[in-house]
Amino acid sequence: MIDFKKFSTYSKPGPRYTSYPTAIEFSENYTLESYLKDLKEDSSPLSLYVHLPFCRSACYFCGCNVIYTSKEENKTLYLEYLKKELALLKEAMDTQKPIYQLHFGGGTPTFFNAKELEILITLLKETFSNFAEDAEIACEIDPRFFNAEQMQALKNGGFNRLSFGIQDFDNAVQTAIHRIQPFSLVQDSITIARDFGIASINFDLIYGLPFQSLETFKQTLELALELNPDRFAIFNYAHVPWIKKTMRKIDETTLPTPEEKLKILEWSIQFLQNNGYKMIGMDHFAKPDDELFKSIQKGQLRRNFQGYSTKGGTQTIGIGLTSIGEGSDYYAQNFKTIKDYQNALDNNTLPFHKGIKLNTDDIIRKTVIMQLMSNFKLDFKAIESRFNLDFKTYFAEALYELQPLEDVGLITINNDGIAVSQTGALLIRNIAMPFDAYLKHINTNQKVFSKTI
C-alpha cells in the first residue's frame, strides 16, 4: 500500500518533457536563416501539425494557445493565411517527402465547419501530397462542436483517428471548468465517428480538476469505458494561473490535494489495466491491438508536443499560429500572436519566431529523457554504443541524484540500466529531471513549470 501523504512530498515543479530542451529555452538566437537551412537539409519523412486556434469560449483548465471568437470571418481569414504559409513552405523545403502523420490541434478544430475543413484539407494535400498508406491522420474533437457533415469532410480527407476532449463527466467539475458536456452528447458524437468507420478513438481525461475526488473520477472513468475508446490519455491538470489568466477563475481551494490526485492516478492505472488497456508512457493507455501499443514493440514510440506518437524518426512541421516544429537537432516555433503571424506572411516570410539548435549534449540527454518517459526503462549500452560514451561517467551527477529514489524502491539501477517500478511510474517526470542540464540554471523561485503531482 502506498503512503500517499509521504509520497506527495515528491511533488515539485518540473517539465512534462514533450520536448528537450523544453520550450522555455527557445530563443531568437536560433534564426530564420538557420531554420530554413534545417528545413531543407533534413531528409526524414514528415509529420504535420496544424494549429487551429479558435474557440467560442474559454475552458478554464485549458493551457493551450487559443483565440476566443464567435466571428466566422476570423476563421475565413485564418485559412487565407494558412494558404500563404503553405505556399512558402513549398518553396522552402521538399514537401514531397513521405508523410507519416497529420494532426489537427487547437483551440477547437471542429469549430471550423465542414466546408472550412474541406478547404483546409485541400490546401494541405495540394502542398503535401505523398501520404504513406498507413499514415495516421488525426483530429482533436470537441463534442460540443461536431456533426455528421464535419465527420464526412474528415473522412473524405483520409482522417482515421479522432481524439475527443472529455475531461470529466461530473456536473460540478464541468461547471467549475466552464465546459458543460453531458454524457449523452459525447455518446452521440462517438456514434457519428463509429458510423463513419473510425476505428481509432482516443479520450482525453484530466485529473486534478476542481471538485474532483477519487469517487467522482471513478464514475467518470466507468462512464467513459461504456463508450469503448481505443485509447485513453489521462493528464495531470497543470495549474499555471501566472501563465494562463483563465485559470485564475478556478477556486484553488476546490482543487484536490496531491494525495488525492495520486489515489486517482493509481486507481485509474489499475482500472484500465484490469479492463484490457496497456499503459503507454506516463499518461496514455491503449488496447493491445491499437497502433500506440504496437509502436512500443516496434521501437517507434515517440514523445512530442502532442503527447505520445506512433511514428518515430520524422521531421515535424508546425503549421499555423504558435505551432512547434521538430527536427533531429532543432525545434522551431511560429509567432504566438495573430498580428505577428499575419505580418510575417504579409511580408512573404515564414511566420517563424524562435527555436533552438541542439548541441551534442542536448541530443544525448534528449534521447535518455525520452526513453525514460516513453518506456520506463533505460539501456545504458544502447546509449553508450550510439554516442560513444561511458554512461556512468557521463551521467555520474544524475545517477547520484537518483539514489534517494532507488533507496525507496521507485527505480532500480544496475550495470545494465535503469528500470522504473510500477509505483515509480507515477513519478516519471521526477525520475527524468536529474538528466536535464537546464534545470540547474533555473531560479527555483521563478514560476515556470506545473507540479509533478
Is a pLDDT exceeding 90 seen at residue 11?
no
pLDDT of 449 reads 81
Q: 304: pLDDT confidence band, cut at 50, 70 and 90?
A: confident
| pLDDT reading at 336 higher than 80 | yes
Give the torsion through C-alpha atoms of 145, 148, 149, 154, to 10 deg: 90
Q: Which of 90-99, 139-148, 172-181, 277-286 has the weakest average pLDDT?
A: 277-286
pLDDT band at residue 407, thresholds of 50, 70 and 90?
Answer: very high
Q: Which of 146, 116, 97, 155 is nearest to 327 (CA)?
A: 97
What is the overall mean pLDDT for the chain? Answer: 92
Domains in the chain: boundaries: 1-11+359-441, 31-319
Q: What is the CATH number that goes with domain 1-11+359-441?
A: 1.10.10.920
Cell numbers for 155, please give them: 473522412
* Position 311 pLDDT exceeds 80: no
**Residue 297: pLDDT band by 50, 70, 90 thresholds?**
low
Task: Give the pLDDT of residue 300.
Answer: 65
CATH, domain 31-319, list 3.80.30.20, 3.40.50.300, 1.10.287.610, 3.10.450.50? 3.80.30.20
pLDDT in tens, 314-325: 999 999 999 999
Q: What is the pLDDT of residue 13?
A: 81
Model confidence at 445, in pLDDT bands (50, 70, 90)? Answer: low
pLDDT band at 91 (very low <50, low <70, confident <90, very high): very high
Reading phi first (left if > 0) and then psi (alpha if -120 to 50, else beta), residue 333 is in beta
Q: How confident is the model at residue 453 (pLDDT cuts 50, 70, 90)?
A: confident
136: nearest Cα among 308, 311, 301: 311
Buried b (16+ CB within 10 A) or exposed e, 245-281: ebbeebeeeebbebbbbbbbbbbbbebbeeeebebbb
